[in-house]
A and B are shown apart, each in its own frame.
Chain A
């Protein structure tokens, strides 16, 4: 129970509980916002929590625009919050 995995967020290792989402892992590091908007450069993070609003986009293992709130964490997963939301 409560197995752990290590994901890499912007180059730094983060321990996450297996089976949770990338958003849960990011939230538990104290992060509220992890991207900025295209026009206003405003910070955004989790809003709808269920994959509807696309506010929580991150790059995962090179794939742009993944919704952190619905993607399950996996050991060794590389999350890049500074790219891939355009």
Chain B
């Protein structure tokens, strides 16, 4: 794509994960011309991230370690057909960094996800935009979490799915939720020894959601599969336990485990069992959607049951902004298959404005599936609560914002001495959330630490302040100046 060109299509889909794939495919089936913008180089998003075929070792398959891979292969094959005929333009390695809505069209501006020469890469103009940006690991800071060798749990999964090997490493996986299990399995597959999986909640937390769990037999089968991996490799699964301190300076040397009480408080335990020698720590406290573009576009947002900020959408996945639909993780974290179903409904609603959607019978089936998946997600969030009072683990010098190196003490000073009582003010006073990642990593935690100073819970307003970014992705100023793409939407 030439540097400053503007493409015109009927629908722009942002994100090539489960939701974006099914959105693009459904829109193309309905006869619409689609631009599929994806920051990654290969389709699949986070769930179906897979190695480049060139990097496969003998005997290794593209699908190793994947679930529902056949669903992906079918969608990818159909999409490739549409790409070949030109109905779908797949803009791989392109990141949407701004979205501007006019009366009848939106302009989505793009930058190359990586490039030595020039980052600005034109824009796409379309009547409809469907945002399927997914999310990333939600993080809670832990003393020592900036030491090399500590990674986000999803990041470990991504490294392994990209073909990375971790032979000889000793790992601990810690946090909350069922995602800790596939991460332990992935580590094992990549050659690491998993010393323990630590789940902060008691197993009984699932009891209240039994009904919705039983209606999702595929999830039970998955859990059993991972349980078998743990059993085969003798990996201890410790409940009511969390890593509350990571030791080491230029690399991880070990961790301190603590017992998590029923009320969420932490009992630092004494003795050998509370220390593990490891050189890799995977931290997973659930996922949180990437709402940068949605917030920038002015879409209404709310706090979901898991505490994360999500986009508000109607039954057809339309946001509060005309011409802007949102599907997948961004409307609430709930897994890949739900994202696929939401993407199809979102695109179907867009297509029915000008032609035909998927039809009432299919739509009803999708809605029933989503209702089941949503109920399961609620049970999962209920069973995967963050330990109450986790902010008390932090030392004053524990870094909360990794980019700007803002500590818990800095945030508490801003609240105590300088009188800040909301995340927006803390951000302005401390620069937390103003660095390279624009608050993606520390946003949630900064809101929680701020709220804990005021002895309250963090609010949607706190979270929105941390999601509001001037640019959804850094762009070089020189490139911006050189770009002659000055036309706004009409």
Contacts and interface: CB of A to CB of B under 8 A. Distances in A.
A25 B56 CA distance: 14
A18 interface: yes
B218 interface: no
B52 A19 contact: yes
Interface in A49-79: 49-55, 57, 60-63, 65-67, 69-72
B402 A1 contact: no
Interface string B131-142: 000001100000
A77 to B, nearest CB: 9
B250 interface: yes
Instruction: With a 10 A CB-CB cut-off, give which of A55, A60, A67 has the most chain B CB atoms.
Output: A55
A21 B148 contact: no
Contact of A47 (B52, B152, B165): B152
A62 B116 contact: yes
Instruction: Report, as a range, how many residues of chain A touch the other chain.
Output: 35 or more
Nearest to B251: A32
Contacts of A44: 146, 148, 402
B166 to A, nearest CB: 8
B110 to A, nearest CB: 15
A62 B52 CA distance: 25
Nearest to A73: B55
Contact of B250 (A19, A21, A33, A46): A33
A43 B164 contact: no
Interface in B58-111: 58
Contacts of A54: 403, 435-437
A47 B198 CA distance: 19
Contacts of B57: 1-2, 17
Contact of A24 (B41, B58, B155, B162): B162
B116 A53 contact: no
Nearest to B441: A53
B39 interface: yes
A67 to B, nearest CB: 7
Interface in A18-39: 18-21, 23-24, 27-28, 32-33, 37-39
A12 interface: no
Given A20-B163, A44-B148, A49 B55 contact: no
B111 to A, nearest CB: 12
Nearest to A59: B116
B403 to A, nearest CB: 6
B55 A18 contact: yes
A22 to B, nearest CB: 9
Interface of B: 39-41, 46, 51-58, 113-117, 136-137, 146-152, 154-159, 162-166, 250-251, 290, 402-405, 435-437, 440-441, 474
13 contacts: A1-B54, A2-B58, A18-B52, A23-B159, A27-B164, A44-B148, A47-B150, A49-B155, A52-B441, A53-B152, A54-B403, A63-B115, A67-B114
Interface of A: 1-3, 17-21, 23-24, 27-28, 32-33, 37-40, 42-55, 57, 60-63, 65-67, 69-72
Given A52-B440, A52-B441, 9 more contacts: A2-B56, A19-B163, A24-B162, A42-B405, A48-B136, A48-B151, A49-B158, A50-B136, A63-B117
